[in-house]
Amino acid sequence: MAVVSLSCAFGLTGCAGGIELPSLLYLAVGTNSDQTIDAELVEDIGARLKLLESSFRQIYPSTRFQFAAYPEDEIKPAMARRNGAGLGPDLLLINGDTAKQLVNAGLADPFPLTPTLANLFNPGDLERLRLPNGDLAGLPVIIHSQLACFNRKRLPDPPSTLQELLEASAKGQNIGLSIELSTLFWSAGSLGATDAWLRVVQDKRLSREDVNSIENWTTWLQNASDQQRITFYPNQASALTEFSTGRLDWISCSSTNLPRLRKSLGASLGVSNLPSGPGGSASPINRLRVLALGRSSSRQGRARALAFSRFSVNPLVQRSITLGSQVLLPANRFVKVPVQSSGTLQAMSDSQEASLRTAELANLLHVDDPRLDRAQTLITQLVFGEISPQGAAKALIALMEAKP
């Protein structure tokens, strides 16, 4: 398991002769599957935490930070080991679904939410983090947006519709799509299939129109795979590598990918909305990042963790994080994003609004839902032509109607 920790590097940890100062806040940071834990990513995380630390120390001057980065899909066993040794973190910065898994497994504690604090967030975001007993798995802090990335030199005008995307490929532009369902589902909204999928998961009766919309989506996916200049990749990381090296002209991407893409492509990197279609706007799946409470904190450590969590959602801090990074959106609903100042911020804001179409569906389907693995297999078979669009739609509906 790849784990990177910083002690005195970046000034994140107070060190004196190798001895940590007493007011140390240990933070575990989860990384997504399309992020590689290397020196570049560690530097990027460190730089963002450095900004927060310097502001937080104006109120709590003795506090220092230490962090370790873990792949999100490996963080559960890692926390089990560290908690068992009494070395777990005070806080975890992770995806909302992961926070729910950790609290359910007894590896993190629920976050105590006051009415004043709850008022800062959209009720739907809090609902996504609720456990069956009503506890909150973590405090919403930031939002990662799903976007479209393109090479300005080769594709000056990004496609705004699915039809324009196909036309761009027909004209010789190289288009990359990830076969991963979580990064491909944006196209379901463009084909008008998101409401139908919600009814499937809710076990409601489907109309013929619902079935048709799902078949339209699976048909588009198979037709796209038949295009000479559209390539489906096994995962998002592969598509990102091809795009960053200039072999692709357009991909879907996450705002978390932007710092690395800016370094590799410079001014050639363009960011836009995902293409709409006859069914309406795209249906991006944005990630809600939260601060979850570790279980190994001392009484003082827990007090610092709660103080830092509340500090992180302060409107001034949230605005600073958004403007300073240009890759994050604030979870605090009262923070207004100055979209006029940046095309990237505008695209991220549009993505957040469009993601409301999938919010309820995302709340019903969690990353550890066993049906998703089977659905991924069916999508893979569809793209490679091993199953017809009609057959894929029928099998997917039957699968998702079944109880997990």
What does the pLDDT read at residue 356? 84
pLDDT above 60: residue 209: yes
So what's the pLDDT on residue 47? 78
Of 19-23, 75-79, 319-323, the poorest mean pLDDT is in 19-23
CB 145 within 8 A of CB 283: no
Please report the pLDDT score of residue 404 as a whole number. Answer: 67
pLDDT-derived band at 168 (thresholds 50, 70, 90) equals: very high
Nearest to 317 by CA among 150, 120, 171: 120
Q: What is the mean pLDDT of residues 58-75?
A: 88
Position with higher pLDDT, 103 vs 42: 103
What would the pLDDT profile of 257-288 be if each residue is shown by its tens digit?
999 999 999 999 999 999 999 999 999 999 99
Q: What pLDDT, on the 0 to 100 scale, is given for residue 363?
A: 79
Give the model confidence (pLDDT) of 383-393 as tens digits. Answer: 999 999 999 99
Are the C-beta atoms of residues 158 and 269 closer than 8 Å to each other? no
Distance CA 337, CA 391 (A): 44
As to burial, measured by CB atoms within 10 angstroms (0-12 exposed, 13-18 middle, 19+ buried), residue 226 is exposed
**Is the Cβ–Cβ distance between 271 and 155 less than 8 Å?**
no
pLDDT for residue 326 is more than 90: no
The DSSP string of 273-293 is PPPBBTTBS----PEEEEEEE
- What are 3-14's pLDDT values in tens digits? 433 333 333 333
Q: How far apart are CA 25 and CA 29, in angstroms?
A: 13
pLDDT at site 357: 81
pLDDT in tens, 135-165: 999 999 999 999 999 999 999 999 999 999 9
**How high is the pLDDT of residue 9?**
33
**DSSP characters for 323-392?**
HHHSS-EESSTTPPP-GGG-HHHHHHHHHHHHTHHHHHHHHHS-TT-HHHHHHHHHHHHHHTTSS-HHHH
Share of the chain above pLDDT 70, in %: 94
- In the chain, pLDDT over 90 holds for what percent of residues? 68
SS3 call for 226: helix
pLDDT at 45: 82
Average pLDDT over residues 208-227: 96
Pairing of strands 24-31, 91-95: parallel
Instruction: Specify burial of residue 327 (Cβ count, 10 A radius: 0-12, 13-18, 19+).
Output: buried
Is 17 a residue whose pLDDT tops 70?
no
| Closest CA relative to residue 144, chosen from 37, 48, 10, 68 | 48
